[in-house]
Structure 1
């Protein structure tokens, strides 16, 4: 991978990649592996970008696909689902954010299905439903309905904090 490609096509989108990878990992080591794999796949797939959407939309979609693939591979080898780690392991690794409420939100988000995690991340990033639908190969109306259901689920989880950590 050339330095020019990295600085122009990956580095400006590092926050997107980081947020996506953080949603699907519970440790710094896993995060770094996922992040590296996403960057590698962006470089490998760069010629497949056809310009039908924004580069950022393509990066989101590719990041999601890589993270979901990695998650499935990890689950097969470890025989454990990341959201079911004991409290002392998962919360320790999630103390990336200084605000306790934000940490609780991310713990609750990790209780959601893989796709719902992505939808709510993109919603929190203020992405239009149409762009979210493009990333997830869905339609905007479906995304709008799912966002409302996800918000309701998160509200329930956050109101019952004890259950978040189960």
Structure 2
């Protein structure tokens, strides 16, 4: 298989998860998430020869995605506004957002309130990335990761149910 086909296969495998990870950093703003996803895979292509295989390819790609999102947030000082709570409580007509969309918006709003590191952890977890891969990507021991994820889930549950 030539390098272009390998890259296409890699892209098709990881692009959806990278997009969702970026979407979390972009507070649900689709255009920004797509931009960061594209930038991530441009970097993956440009630096493909620097991948040494010390970690899994997924760990390497997720680290590039995280660094891309955080770097752009720092560089541009982009600040995403938390979702307006009135949007979540205003009755909608049948052509507008569904209850599931509202729940997703509320979840992103709560995720936005987390620290940068906790946000990274929960976004990777929500993408069903194995905890061992998350631990390797972030440099946290597996036991410490499980404890932190448990605390993050409790905080998110509290935020989603109580709005805080």
Question: 1:4-19 alignment to 2 at 5 Å?
Answer: 4-19=5-20
Q: Is the 8 A contact 2:111 2:119 kept in 1?
A: yes
1:65-105, Cα deviation, whole Å (9 max, x unpaired): 11111111121xx5xx32x45628x98xxx7x954323322
**Which of these two proteins has the greater Rg computed from alpha carbons?**
2
Alignment-derived partner of residue 23 in structure 1 = 24
- Among 136, 150, 153, the alignment partner of 2:152 is 150
- Tell me the distance in 2 between the aligned counterparts of 1:130 and 1:31: 25
Which residue is equivalent to 2:46? 44
Which secondary structure does the structure 2 equivalent of 1:126 belong to? coil
Q: State the shift of 1:46 in Å.
A: 0.9
Task: Name stretches of at least 5 consecutive residues in structure 2 with no aligned partner.
Answer: 89-96
Gaps of 5+ in 1: none
Post-superposition CA distance 1:122-149 (Å, at most 9, x none)? 2233333322110112211221121121
TM-score (norm 2): 0.78
